[in-house]
Chain A
Amino acid sequence: MSGDTTTVIRVANLRKSYGTTIAVEDISFEVFDGEIFGIIGPNGAGKTTAVECLQGLRAADQGEIRVLWFDPRSQLVQLRRYIGAQLQASSLPDRVKVWEALDLFASYSSRPVDWKDVLNQWGLSNLRDRSFGDLSGGQKQRLFLALAFVNEPQLVFLDELTQGLDPQARRMTWKLVQDICMRGTTIVLVTHFMDEAEYLCDRVAIVDHGKVVSLDSPQAIVDSLHVPLRVRFSAELADLSWIEAMPEVQKVERRGSQIEIEGTGPVLALVAAALVERGILPTDLRAERPTLEDAFIALTGREIEA
């Protein structure tokens, strides 16, 4: 995110229920121009419902929503000109060809773009005449991204972008998302993959049971929880008391020759220095930083179910 903090989305006290089920209880956040904003949480937390309200695909029961310059409830047609969408659990007809989908979606976009350019831009040229049903998961996602960008949107919603993709296709998709962001498009990314959010997002809102339980940069969320850092190495050490005596160290455990230290702050640097000082030079000294997933579990009290 640059220094520019123009607000492109403002949501206040959004609420949406289906019959007696409350999908979104009370969600508020802002998204700034040019950032990748993540909405993360377990399945059924209300993430998709919330972003579908923002895109005007569902009508919110209560709350203020402003997306770009528009209210999605009353100015949907205008809004759609400026946004792109990759929807969760959506598809295309199996027998439609890649070029036909691009051509069709381009003809319905408000800004006329040449679908052939889009085809090249997204590396789909060699799949031009392939049927949608014959594409791999990664190729389908690439087409969905291309379709989401066919009207050169200022703001894009990407919902569970990498679900069902193999690790290689996920990495490639992440790269595409970063490229899009570099071109100045604001991105709202909905995901239940914590590593994805941590890797891509400038800021994230953690949503659980229809509410925002935390909102900040992934790093700040992790830091705010003071989850300890784990330092591990192997060494044949009889005496560990000198490690335990270090003020930054909270706990030391030994499993065979494996030593695990939990601590805070610069514990890794201090342990490393102390080891070198004693002539102990383990080749596998490493620190395991707490991740967004650790923070998520600490905040919501439950594990993410994939």
Chain B
Amino acid sequence: MAQVHSFLKLTWVELKLFARDPFATVFALVIPLIMLILLAAVFGHTSADAKANGLVVFRGVRGPEYYMTSSIGLVIVAIGLLNVPIHLATYREQGILRRFRASSIPAWAIFGSQIAVALVISALGSLIMVMVAVIFYGTRSPAAGFGVVVAFIMATLSFTALGFLIAALVETARATQGITLILFFLFWMLSGSGPPRAALPDTARRFTGIVPLTHALIAIQDPWFGYGWNVGELIILAGITITAAVPALLLFARDSES
């Protein structure tokens, strides 16, 4: 019980630290919101069956509905891929991890609190995106709500795991910041969250499959738009989570032992 209480305390402190970090809040909440408003304004009147390169542009929904889900994807990426690794790399670089460890804060609590923060902030950010979309663009609620929630959680876990891996592999907080920013924009460009996949040139479209955000996006969109649960994408997200988290945690454990 005491362990749970301490864990909640740590998570609460981490949540407050997130809220006090302007870089984190801008990327996690402001940029996805701007993208949503801008792209919904541009493609607000595009019909649901519009085509580009012979492909349906917005997966059979209106532009604002499409960009509501992609802004949820951006929130998740900003937190898991940007905030988590930069935060952890800073902790390691400044000796904060060592101090935590020396004060009996267990490793599971440190990583667990990062996952909890990622889930809470992603949920909060996503709610904001959905509320704006519903109020201003009259978007529909999800066809399969539970499916969306499961896909959302799986997506958040997979990007947080990727964040752990980047923090474990990259030496400094500065380098982490550079690498994750590049990834953030690459993912945005190549996943369909910015330009829809149908609108991408053929060469670029070939890369969409290796971008994790593509899978997260489809996993969230399918139950939302009424195409049902996409089990295949959920399995891919689970695979990303495990393949990233296991080596990351092993690397962190090895670092702290040397």
**A174 on interface, CB distance cutoff 8 Å:** no
**A285 on interface, CB distance cutoff 8 Å:** no
Q: Are B104 and A110 in contact (CB under 8 A)?
A: yes
Q: Which of B95, B103, B258 has the most CB of A within 10 A?
A: B103
**A105 on interface, CB distance cutoff 8 Å:** yes
Q: A105 — nearest CB in chain B belongs to which residue?
A: B103
Which residues of A in the span 96-113 have a Cβ within 8 Å of any Cβ on B?
Answer: 96, 100, 103-105, 107-110
Encoded as 1 (CB less than 8 Å from any A CB) or 0, chain B from 80 to 108 comes to: 00000000001100111011011111000
Interface residue from A77, A96, A147 paired with B13 (Cβ < 8 Å): A96
User: What separation, in Å, do the CA atoms of A151 and B258 have in the docked complex?
Assistant: 26
User: What separation, in Å, do the CA atoms of A194 and B16 have in the docked complex?
Assistant: 42
Closest CB-CB distance, B175 to chain A, in whole Å?
19
Given A85-B102, A105-B103, A108-B6; A100-B95 close (CB under 8 Å): no
Closest CB-CB distance, A137 to chain B, in whole Å?
15
Which residues of B in the span 123-141 have a Cβ within 8 Å of any Cβ on A?
Answer: none
Closest CB-CB distance, A160 to chain B, in whole Å?
12
Closest CB-CB distance, A122 to chain B, in whole Å?
16
**A240 on interface, CB distance cutoff 8 Å:** no
**A58 on interface, CB distance cutoff 8 Å:** yes
User: What separation, in Å, do the CA atoms of A57 and B20 have in the docked complex?
Assistant: 30
Size class of the contact patch on chain A: 20 to 34
Q: Are B98 and A57 in contact (CB under 8 A)?
A: yes
Q: Are A107 and B103 in contact (CB under 8 A)?
A: no
Given A85-B103, A104-B13; A91-B21 close (CB under 8 Å): no
Q: A144 — nearest CB in chain B belongs to which residue?
A: B99
Q: Are B21 and A108 in contact (CB under 8 A)?
A: no
- Residues from chain B with a CB closer than 8 A to the CB of A242 are none
Closest CB-CB distance, B257 to chain A, in whole Å?
6
Q: Are A89 and B95 in contact (CB under 8 A)?
A: yes
- Residues from chain B with a CB closer than 8 A to the CB of A126 are none
Majority SS at the chain B contact face: helix
Interface residue from A77, A90, A104 paired with B10 (Cβ < 8 Å): A104
Majority SS at the chain A contact face: loop
Q: Are B20 and A95 in contact (CB under 8 A)?
A: yes
Encoded as 1 (CB less than 8 Å from any B CB) or 0, chain A from 127 to 171 comes to: 000000000000000000001001100000000000000000000
Q: Which of A92, A109, A147 has the most CB of B within 10 A?
A: A92
**B5 on interface, CB distance cutoff 8 Å:** yes
- Residues from chain B with a CB closer than 8 A to the CB of A92 are 96, 99
Closest CB-CB distance, A225 to chain B, in whole Å?
36
Closest CB-CB distance, A226 to chain B, in whole Å?
41
Given A91-B94, A95-B20, A107-B5; A57-B101 close (CB under 8 Å): yes
Interface residue from A57, A77, A107, A147 paired with B9 (Cβ < 8 Å): A107
User: What separation, in Å, do the CA atoms of A255 and B46 have in the docked complex?
Assistant: 95
User: What separation, in Å, do the CA atoms of A150 and B10 have in the docked complex?
Assistant: 16
Which residues of B in the span 219-258 have a Cβ within 8 Å of any Cβ on A?
Answer: 256-258
Q: Are B257 and A103 in contact (CB under 8 A)?
A: no
Apart from A91-B94, A108-B104, 10 more pairs, CB < 8 Å: A57-B98, A57-B101, A59-B257, A59-B258, A91-B96, A100-B13, A103-B9, A104-B105, A107-B5, A147-B99
Cβ-closest 8 pairs across A and B:
A90-B95, A91-B94, A95-B20, A90-B99, A85-B102, A107-B6, A80-B104, A108-B104
- Between-chain CB contacts (< 8 Å), 23 pairs: A57-B98, A57-B101, A58-B257, A58-B258, A59-B257, A80-B104, A81-B104, A85-B103, A90-B102, A91-B95, A91-B96, A91-B99, A93-B90, A93-B96, A95-B21, A96-B17, A104-B9, A104-B105, A105-B103, A107-B9, A108-B103, A109-B104, A150-B103
